[in-house]
């Protein structure tokens, strides 16, 4: 299953959920994986559990200097970055009238600006290589509206638009850029929703929420040469929720 053998992969928000599941799958597929997170204790623990080809770096995705430091450390050791998974994100349930400006700014900083900074920081490396795959985590909230989480939805629509624009801008350099749009996935984010697990399962046409590994499999496909002609598009993992 060595689909990305010896590729250097950077996964943000890698300490839990989809990020941690993706790191595990990438390692099984032969990659060397660097996970980053703002939770240093958990990030270090996960990297240690995943083994000697997985490393952790502390990282604030909303901060440009933090991106510079992370990329510099990876390049000093490996001299390349083949895969970027912009996975770090936060979720808030709040209507427009109940969303404070500070909450809005925080969601934009992490979900939207974090993705922008990731692309901006990594593309110069990938341009020199004339190859690379960038996978941005959006959401089904980036496919349709969400009256219960409009600020979150706005950032995920922005990720979708940024993905398409970056795919066009960097195609000539052999860089592919795609977005993944999870539906209801059993992660810590679901704790923000005021519904039981059974109620969430019932909302999904196939009868259950997804699990992080199912999203990770889509990310692995996009990271690998199996997706060599896929760029600039949305890949939905939602059990037909938005069909």
The label of the residue with tokens 């940024």 reads: 162
| Residue at 51 is within a domain | yes
| Residue at 243 is within a domain | no
| Residue at 2 is within a domain | no
The model carries a pTM of: 0.97
- Closest of 50, 53, 86 to residue 70, by C-alpha: 86
Q: Please, what is the end-to-end C-alpha distance for the chain in angstroms?
A: 31
| Residue at 149 is within a domain | yes
| Residue at 1 is within a domain | no
The rounded Cα 119 to chain-centroid distance in angstroms is 12
Which residue segment(s) compose the domain that 64 sits in?
A: 8-237
CATH number of the domain that residue 45 is part of:
3.40.50.720
Per the annotation, the verdict on 78 as an active-site residue is no
- CB contact at 8 A, 158 and 178: no
| For residue 191, pLDDT beyond 80 | no
| Residue at 34 is within a domain | yes
Backbone phi, then psi, for 121, in 5-degree steps?
-80, -35
Total domain count, the chain: 1
Residue 235 CA to residue 213 CA, distance in Å, equals 15
pLDDT for residue 192: 74
| Catalytic position from the list 152, 157, 170, 235 | 152
| Residue at 242 is within a domain | no
Give the pLDDT band (50/70/90) at residue 1: low
| Residue at 76 is within a domain | yes
For the stretch 33-75, pLDDT in tens is: 999 999 999 999 999 999 999 999 999 999 999 999 999 999 9
| For residue 176, pLDDT beyond 70 | yes
């Amino acid at each position: 299953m060595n689909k990305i053998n010896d590729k250097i992969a950077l996964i943000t928000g890698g300490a839990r959920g989809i990020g941690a599941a993706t790191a595990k799958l990438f390692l099984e597929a032969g990659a060397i994986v660097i996970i980053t997170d703002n939770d240093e204790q958990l990030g270090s623990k996960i990297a240690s559990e995943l083994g000697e080809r997985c490393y952790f770096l502390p990282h604030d995705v909303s901060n440009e200097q933090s991106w510079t430091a992370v990329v510099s450390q990876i390049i000093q050791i490996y001299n390349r970055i083949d895969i970027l998974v912009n996975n770090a994100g936060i979720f808030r349930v709040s209507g427009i009238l109940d969303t404070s400006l500070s909450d809005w700014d925080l969601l934009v900083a992490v979900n939207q600006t974090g993705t922008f900074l990731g692309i901006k920081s990594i593309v110069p490396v990938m341009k020199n290589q004339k190859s690379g795959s960038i996978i941005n985590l959006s959401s089904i909230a980036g496919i349709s509206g969400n009256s219960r989480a409009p600020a979150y939805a706005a950032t995920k629509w922005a990720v979708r638009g940024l993905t398409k624009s970056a795919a066009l801008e960097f195609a000539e350099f052999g860089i592919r850029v795609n977005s993944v749009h999870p539906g209801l996935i059993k992660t810590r984010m679901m704790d923000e929703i005021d519904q039981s697990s059974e109620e969430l399962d019932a909302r999904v046409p196939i009868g259950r929420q997804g699990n992080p590994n199912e999203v990770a499999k889509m990310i692995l496909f996009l990271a690998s040469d199996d997706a060599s002609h896929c760029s600039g598009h949305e890949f939905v993992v939602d059990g037909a929720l938005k069909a």
